[in-house]
Structure 1
Amino acid sequence: MVRTVSAAETAPQTYAWPVKAEGLRVQAGRHLAVNGLDLALGTGVHGLLGPNGAGKTTMMRALATVVRPADGRLELLGQPVHTRADLRGVRRALGYLPQHFGFYPRFTVREFVEYMAWLKEMPAGDVPGAVQRAIERVGLADRADKKMKTLSGGMLRRVGIAQAIVNDPQILLLDEPTVGLDPEQRMTFRDLLRELGADTCVLVSTHLVEDVVAACTDVVLVDTGRLVWQGTPQELARWGAAGDAGDSPAERGYSALLRTHRAGTR
């Protein structure tokens, strides 16, 4: 007898908080780069801001399960990862572009993205279509069969984005994704972010406040490994005043929040 499968059973699983951290502490060598971070991220595009040395890259590496937290609690897609030895299931649902990513120079763009899909244990039958779709989404369809060593820095960064999204991840982590992109490519990338954020938890680390304002639904500001502030781009802009550093309301809000945090007034 064949059992009828309900719509609820086939619907994709959703989580109140795809990313949730409580008291998270993460080492970078001997340095405690993330120090007692409390954070909850839902579906949407979250911009991660902070000065150099704020702990952004270490935080991204912990969320990508590259490094294990030293203390605290971290849940990804409802699964506690700080104590789990087997993270394969969680990793299949992640997309990650590190600040510096390695590649095989003699691979073509298509071969490299296919290889990353294989590492993510995607079903073999799904790989060709997923790879082509990812390459098209980053605007590299005309370079799909070119070797990686022939690409410009901006093109390589776009290949990095393609490999991060090839598995349609539920959590997408992008560390400085717009480095090397020209203004037109950055605007196209913002459109892609908005598209992805409709049903994915996207975290984008950047120093470009204007990219956050243009593409993100939420802003996360960190300093010295701690959460300083979280809110919308519009709320960020309201924090700034005429005397604060920055060329836009959002940049002035960013400066004001860091200043008040370091002065211990909030």
Structure 2
Amino acid sequence: MTHTASAADTAPKTYPWEIRASGLKVRVGRSKMAVDGLDLSLGIGAHGLLGPNGAGKTTLIRTLATVLRPTEGELEMLGTSLGRVGDHRALRRRIGYLPQDFGYYKRFTVREFVEYMAWLKEVPKRDVPDAVQRAVERVGLADRADHRMKTLSGGMVRRAGIAQAIVNSPAVLLLDEPTAGLDPAQRLRFRELLTDLGRDTCVVVSTHLVEDVAAACSDVVLFADGRLVFQGTPDELGAAGSAEHPGDSPLERGYSALLRTSGQQGSAW
């Protein structure tokens, strides 16, 4: 089936950054400011979002996905301002989102699950079969497409989650801990997919695994206590550390050094 480009697909790009935040604050609960005065600009490419537990990574991802509303400051995605009020339905059609935990009907097959998510994202009906097939093939689930979700391993369920996130060919792709539950071979395939997606998509991937960022991301964003600590290339992150800092690789030592400088020492066991 031939895909027919929509007006949105062929419209000229009129914004300098896919994601731009200025003084962004997002409150969670009554008092905690989980994102606190963030200035950040992200364009095409794979951006690794690193930070300790409680740094605000998931809150930021959820805000970018329009699940949460900004409390203060400015946030713009794909040229659309995300204020505290407004209907962002049109923007959501252009976003792919994989949360840490996602729900699904266990009796759905993988194909039915991804089709359902394509329908929710308002993918044109004529394009859905091809879009679903491409998505399941890209995550290595073509041979499981007609198996029920309840029969899949945890890693396969995660891959089905990635498939639903990319089924609408998003301009911005948000992945929160996407490699959780993947075995080493699956993680290697995911890194290849991430590199491929980053060629023409703004991908933001939140992870605790520094080696995934090193292998697949062109840009690293280090987040601590709701604030931006560092943004640069993996090589620049590695250069920030030295042998005196904890870690088994240059990136881990750079990560430790920058957190120490920011006052975030990391939690003990």
Normalised-by-shorter TM-score class? over 0.9
Query: 2 CA distance for matches of 1:14 and 1:127?
Result: 28
1:83: Cα distance to partner? Answer: 4.3
Alignment of 1:214-233 (within 5 A): 214-233=215-234
One-letter code of the match for 1:182?
D
Aligned position for 1:178? 179
Q: CA offset at residue 234 of structure 1?
A: 0.4
Partner of 2:121: 120
Determine the C-alpha separation between the residues in 2 that align with 1:61 and 1:135: 24
Q: CA deviation at 1:13?
A: 2.8
Q: CA deviation at 1:84?
A: 4.7
Which residue is 1:89 aligned to? Answer: 90
Corresponding residue of 1:25: 25
> Is the Cα contact below 8 Å between 2:43 and 2:202 reproduced in 1?
yes
The residue type paired with residue 128 of structure 1 is: P
Structure 1 segment 28-107 matched on structure 2, within 5 A: 28-30=28-30, 31-107=32-108
How high is the TM-score relative to the length of structure 2?
0.92
CA distance in 2, matches of 1:237, 1:153: 32
Matched, 1:151 2:152: yes
Q: Distance in 2 between matches of 1:240 and 1:195?
A: 29
Over the residues paired in the alignment, what is the CA RMSD in angstroms? Answer: 1.2
Distance in 2, Cα, partners of 1:131 & 1:234: 36
Q: State the percentage of identical aligned residues.
A: 69
SS at match of 1:228: strand
Aligned in 2, Cα 1:101/1:231: closer, same or farther, shift over 3 Å? Answer: same
Q: Structure 2 CA distance, aligned partners of 1:216 and 1:103?
A: 29
1:15 matched to 2:15? The reply is: yes
Contact 2:51 2:208 (8 Å CA) reproduced: yes
Please, which runs of 5 or more residues in structure 2 have no aligned partner? 1-8, 265-269
Q: Which amino acid aligns with 1:24?
A: L
Q: Which residue of 2 aligns with 1:166?
A: 167
Structure 1 gap segments, 5+ residues each: 1-8
Shift of residue 12, structure 1, vs aligned partner = 5.1
Q: Distance in 2 between matches of 1:110 and 1:12?
A: 33
Q: Secondary structure at the match of 1:39?
A: strand
Secondary structure of 2:189's partner? helix
Looking at structure 2, the residues matched to 172 and 96 of structure 1 have their Cα atoms a distance apart, in angstroms, of 6
- Measured after TM superposition, the shift of residue 28 of structure 1 is 1.8
